[in-house]
Structure 1
Amino acid sequence: MVLDLGCGSGVPAARSLAAASCRVTGIDISEVQIRRARERVPQAEFIHADATAVSCGAASFDAVVSFFALIHIPVAEQPPLLRKIA
């Protein structure tokens, strides 16, 4: 199970992971992007949520990817988020 944190429209990361037979969950703060991701990558699960506030259980994912999302998160909020991911 792979988490795509800040998945946007699901392309290219979630789509590529799903094509490689990974179970993918994407999280994004934008409702519009989540809607697009669900249309573009129907085999994945997408959740509308704030990456800094969402709660997933410990060891919920085998891997986490995040392309370009961290730069949109205030610097002070990044270390706590990264600790939560770890």
Structure 2
Amino acid sequence: MDFDDILPAYDRVADHWAATRDRSLFEKAALQAALAGQLGARVLDLGCGTGLPIAEWFAHQGCLVTGVDGSAPMLRYFRTNLPGAGAVHADMRRIALRQRFDVILGWDSFFHLSKPDQRAMFAVFEAHAARGARLLLTTGDAEGEPMGRVGQEPVIHASLSPAAYRDLFAAHGFRVLWFRPRDAEFWGRSVWLARYEGDQRAGGMA
């Protein structure tokens, strides 16, 4: 199992995922923090899956949602579940949407990228972040490459160290608002919330 096997694995489990994915919205406190009361926010959901329940929650708040997923079967469910949302069949590592968003999500998706690809994704986040955008990510709480399962499929995860993530956020103009490692409210996930404040490297603001 390596990182190139992730999308084919999700292709194979799409029907099972759609039927069994928890919809209790245990993520709600993090989603509310990312939205921060904005009206009509533009939301970019990377690795959106079927859209339930996360993208659906944002849509119900009046947000303009765009979902991106590299799994065509997952995206078909997304289009059915959120017919008014934008839906992009693409590998998140290679998107260039020529739009900026107020909320960017990588919930239970970003951690399926390899460590080098995670580092490179911060330029993608920056390219799609409006001034003041909030970026919500799940990662590990320490550097490593643990295995997990989705349905009956083995899947690999990767994580940098928290210090490495903090450096990447800062280098790409994001200020970390909080990091909650292995948080019980989020069912043991390690969750980052950051705010885009512009390109500090050039001394300017995007």
Q: Which amino acid aligns with 1:74?
A: S
Q: Work out the CA distance in 1 between the residues paired with 2:68 and 2:124.
A: 15
The counterpart of 2:109, out of the listed 48, 69, 72, is 69
For the pair 1:51 / 2:92, whether they are aligned, the reply is yes
Q: Give secondary structure in 2 for the equivalent of 1:26.
A: strand
CA contact (8 A) 2:51 2:81 kept: yes
Aligned to 1:23: 64
Deviation at 1:55, TM superposition (A): 0.8
Deviation at 1:54, TM superposition (A): 1.0
The counterpart of 1:33, out of the listed 74, 78, 82, is 74
Deviation at 1:5, TM superposition (A): 0.6
Q: Which runs of 5+ in 1 are unaligned?
A: none
Q: Which runs of 5+ in 2 are unaligned?
A: 1-41, 127-206
Aligned to 2:121: 81
Q: Work out the CA distance in 1 between the residues paired with 2:115 and 2:52.
A: 25
Aligned CA-pair RMSD = 1.1
> Which is greater in Rg?
2
Q: Give secondary structure in 1 for the equivalent of 2:50.
A: coil
Deviation at 1:84, TM superposition (A): 2.0
Q: Which amino acid aligns with 1:67?
A: W
Deviation at 1:69, TM superposition (A): 0.4
**Identity, % of aligned pairs?**
33
How many equivalent residue pairs? 85
Kindly indicate which of the two structures has a greater share of residues assigned to strand: 2
- More deviation, 23-32/71-80: 71-80
Deviation at 1:66, TM superposition (A): 1.5
CA contact (8 A) 2:95 2:124 kept: no
